[in-house]
Amino acid sequence: METRTEINNWSDTITIRKMQKSDLPALEWDGEYTRFRDVYLMEFERSQIGSSILWVADLPDHGVIGQLFVQLNAERQELANGHSRAYMYAFRIKPPYRGVGLGTRMMNIMESDLVRRGFNWVSLNVGKTNYSARRLYSRLGYRVIAHEAGRWSYRDEKGILQNVEEPAWRMEKFISPSL
């Protein structure tokens, strides 16, 4: 495994860019997230019609090592309403690359992009037991505003319906060019 010093040198070479269709296999992380294959394809298609923005962190010679998705519009308008509020989700960095500021960088880029698009608020859900992610969001100015039952379902790569229950806190942040 690489040392932190090596990763820090490499972190300067990382590009944070919009996801392309050819990145889809990389999001499966060597099998860990194969179950989300169809979900990611659907998300990619939504991004093509402008409903969402999918960010990836690309490390030369390694490929995609992080992702962060944003819905601009959602069925639940309290999460994303298409003009002032967007919803961040599916945020993860590969374990060897965590803790050196990449997640923070991705969130800053996501927020600046939303401000440019005229959005003022970002919402997100964080699992109630995901203390480290919650600490990161709090440090970046997100505040807990509601409880979320966290029930959702998806079809896995075999077409089998999977039900998920992940009790979460909904957090939000006001974003504006002046902040």
Per rule CB under 6 A, is residue 91 in the interface with ligand COA?
A: yes
What are residue 134's phi and psi, to 5 degrees?
Answer: -65, -40
Q: Which is nearer to ligand COA, 63 or 101 (CB)?
A: 101
Segment contacting ligand COA by CB under 6 A, of 23-31, 35-43, 77-85, 131-139: 131-139
Per rule CB under 6 A, is residue 27 in the interface with ligand COA?
A: no
Segment contacting ligand COA by CB under 6 A, of 46-54, 86-94, 109-117, 149-157: 86-94
In whole angstroms, the minimum distance from the beta carbon of 3 to ligand COA comes to 13
Contact 88, 123 (CB under 8 A): yes
Q: Are strands 63-71 and 151-155 parallel, antiparallel or unpaired?
A: unpaired
The correct pick among 17, 35, 37, 92 for binding ligand COA (CB under 6 A) is 92
Contact 53, 47 (CB under 8 A): yes
Kindly give, in sequence order, each residue whose CB lies less than 8 Å from that of residue 34, ignoring residues fewer than 6 positions away.
28, 157
The correct pick among 26, 136, 144, 175 for binding ligand COA (CB under 6 A) is 136
Q: What are 26's two structure tokens?
A: 């990389």
Per rule CB under 6 A, is residue 126 in the interface with ligand COA?
A: yes
Per rule CB under 6 A, is residue 102 in the interface with ligand COA?
A: yes
Binding track, positions 137-166, relative to ligand COA; x by CB under 6 A: --x---------------------------
Q: Which is nearer to ligand COA, 48 or 57 (CB)?
A: 57
- Which residues make up the interface to ligand COA (CB under 6 A)? 91-93, 98-104, 126, 130, 132-133, 135-136, 139
